[in-house]
């Protein structure tokens, strides 16, 4: 009987330990996701502030006012050795009647081929200008220049000289690398929702976040939509 009770006690203690470790691991993963969400929003806000503060080289505010959604992908790594590619993480907020939505988390990636070598990091800003561009963000994979028209966005005073292609584009794209900021035709690059992070942080997919289903923006990620509101 004593042997049986001893084994029973050990089994219960083992189960308690397993449950404790499981809860601890879950809490650690939750904290890690929350920290990642906060960092992404903070980095995106910093990049956008820096770009908009550049004298005579900022994104024209009249375009910001017309944009239906804004995406920022800070520090996208571009690496190439014969085959090239880019990979980055960022956020997107959508304009609604109540203001900018909580930032949804997206990934950016793409490839190229040719005689190339090297690596650097680039910040990307995308202005989604109309409903067709927004519709692409609701899909599982959205290729820039494929499903929607894309053009290099004008900067500074160039907005008044924008071409028809720029004015009619669903998406205007910009890049900043090594301190230089300019419009760039970012064709062939795919945007995909990071729903592992969206679901862990909001409990819903990216398209639901962009539709405003997240409600009030959590304070830990509010810096990005608040930054957009200033412009």
Please give the pLDDT value at position 28.
Answer: 54
Task: Report yes or no: 141 and 190 within 8 Å, Cβ to Cβ.
Answer: yes
The predicted model gives 38-57 an average pLDDT of 94
Please give the pLDDT value at position 24.
Answer: 46
Residue with more model confidence, 18 or 213: 213
The pTM assigned to this predicted structure is: 0.80
Q: What is the pLDDT of residues 87-96, one digit of tens each?
A: 899 999 999 9
Residue with more model confidence, 55 or 35: 35
Q: Is the pLDDT of residue 231 over 80?
A: yes
Q: What is the pLDDT of residues 175-216, one digit of tens each?
A: 998 778 888 877 778 899 999 999 999 999 999 999 999 999
Residue with more model confidence, 198 or 159: 198
Give dist(CA 141, CA 165) in Å, integer.
24
The predicted model gives 109-120 an average pLDDT of 57
């Amino acid at each position: 009987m004593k042997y049986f009770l001893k084994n029973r006690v050990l089994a219960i203690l083992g189960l308690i330990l397993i449950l404790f470790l499981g809860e601890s691991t879950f809490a650690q993963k939750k904290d890690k996701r929350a920290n990642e969400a906060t960092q992404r929003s903070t980095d995106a806000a910093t990049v956008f502030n820096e770009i908009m503060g550049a004298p005579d080289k900022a994104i024209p505010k009249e375009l910001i006012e017309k944009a239906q959604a804004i995406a920022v992908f800070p520090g996208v790594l571009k690496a190439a050795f014969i085959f090239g590619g880019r990979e980055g993480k960022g956020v997107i907020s959508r304009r609604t009647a109540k203001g900018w939505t909580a930032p949804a988390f997206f990934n950016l990636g793409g490839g190229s081929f040719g005689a190339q070598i090297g690596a650097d990091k680039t910040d990307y800003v995308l202005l989604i200008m109309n409903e067709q561009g927004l519709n692409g963000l609701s899909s599982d994979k959205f290729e820039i220049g494929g499903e929607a028209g894309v053009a290099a966005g004008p900067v500074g005073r160039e907005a008044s000289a924008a071409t028809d292609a720029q004015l009619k584009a669903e998406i205007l794209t910009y890049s900043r690398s090594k301190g230089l900021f300019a419009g760039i035709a970012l064709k062939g690059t795919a945007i995909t929702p990071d729903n592992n992070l969206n679901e862990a942080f909001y409990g819903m997919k990216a398209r639901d976040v962009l539709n405003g289903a997240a409600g009030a923006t959590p304070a830990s990620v509010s810096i990005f939509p608040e930054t957009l509101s200033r412009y």
